[in-house]
Amino acid sequence: MNNKIRVGFIGLNFDSHWAFVAHYPALKFLKDDFEIVGVANSTYESAKKSAEVLNIPFAFETANDLVNSDEIDLVVVTVKVPYHFELVSAALNAGKNVHCEWPLGNGLEEAIKLAQLAKQKGVVATVGNQMRVSVEVNYIKQMLNKGFVGDVLSSTLVGDGGQWGAQTIKDLAYLSDKSKGATMLTIPFGHTLAGIQEVIGNITDISGRLITRRDKVLVADTNETITQSAADQIMANGVFQNGAAFSAHYRGGLSKGTNFLWEINGTNGDIQVRGDIGHGQFANFEIYAAKSEDKELKKVEIPKELYQNKPEDLIPRNVAGIYALIASDIKNGTKTAPSFDDAVQLHKLLDSIAKN
């Protein structure tokens, strides 16, 4: 008997984009739990081509055809943010389990409506906050749970967005338009905030300021200049549920200095996480730590066995971590994967920063 979860993708192109780079190899690695059986793209021709190249049984003419098919158990939505609400709503109304890339909606209001609908339908509805399941993040969580730093006093974050700098390319130019919902605040900062909360706990109060310093951006491959309405500077400060202080500064582009630095300061020690970019879901992390009696930080070597039975490449590894939780939730009725309710909590934090 085949007990695999049958996956239908909305937005899987074989030659580009996040779904093919991250989701496709993650699901192939978890072949005992999942089977990709369907795809629907912006055009039927694109869906047919992806199905042919990737050996997917069904190419659907429309997304509605996919979500209403008896061949699909789990609908995965990996298209641009403005289309999330319509497509996720359709999948939920069809009674399907849904996994949607983060951010869940184009703003808090859409996220709340989707979470309410998912609850009404009683399905598994999850969101792709991949940093929460990374090996490094979970090892830091273990260090805290074992009392390495004592009581957490504060956590400080500095990161660079990669995008939202002086230049972009045509395929990513929409990121400069804040109305599209895919900004430095929602994507790299939001993903990273989810990971930080996984380690330290939820932030219960937050405020901040958004600033746009580069209001004009060069589209390098077309040599045109576009207006940027999305913020390229984010400042935030808040308080965790345990009373610890939080502060953050995110910057557009990349710098010659610090592209990612996350520090946790406690009563008995410190942890410092260094990375190559502020996208916490696919940054290469190194951990440094020191107890109060130590003279300096020392690099922490994560046990190699924690990487066993996981994809070798970082991006599919983190995405597979989410899918492994989804498989458990669907098969066993558990609630371990980041849910739509979790997404609403994160959306509320970002909304609070944007409104201050």
* Residue-wise DSSP of 133-180: G-HHHHHHHHHHHTTTTSSEEEEEEEEE-SSSSSEE-GGGGGGG-GGG
CATH class of 132-302: alpha beta
- Asked if residue 232 lies in contact with residue 211, where contact means CB atoms within 8 angstroms, the answer is yes
On the question of a common fold for 5-129+313-339 and 132-302, the answer reads no
> Low-confidence residues of the chain, pLDDT below 50?
1
3-state secondary structure of 21: helix
- The answer to whether the bond into 103 is cis (omega within 30° of 0) is yes
* CA 174 and chain centroid, separation: 18
List the structure tokens of 297. 């930080």
Amino acid present at 97: N
Closest by CA to 124, choosing from 344, 346, 325, is: 325
Instruction: Report domain extents, the chain.
Output: 5-129+313-339, 132-302
End-to-end CA distance of the chain: 55
Q: What is the C-alpha separation between 75 and 5, in angstroms, rounded?
A: 10
Closest by CA to 330, choosing from 5, 77, 100, 71, is: 5
Block residue for tokens 């997917």: 56
Note the pTM of the prediction, 2 decimals.
0.96
pLDDT at 199: 98
| Topology annotation, domain 5-129+313-339 | Rossmann fold (3.40.50)
- Asked if residue 18 lies in contact with residue 101, where contact means CB atoms within 8 angstroms, the answer is yes
pLDDT at 2: 67
pLDDT at 1: 37
Amino acid present at 245: A
Q: What is the C-alpha separation between 77 and 101, in angstroms, rounded?
A: 6
Closest by CA to 128, choosing from 83, 92, 98, is: 98
Torsion over CA: 188, 194, 200, 201 (sign): positive
Sheet holding 224-227, edge to edge: 167-168, 216-219, 224-227
Amino acid present at 332: N
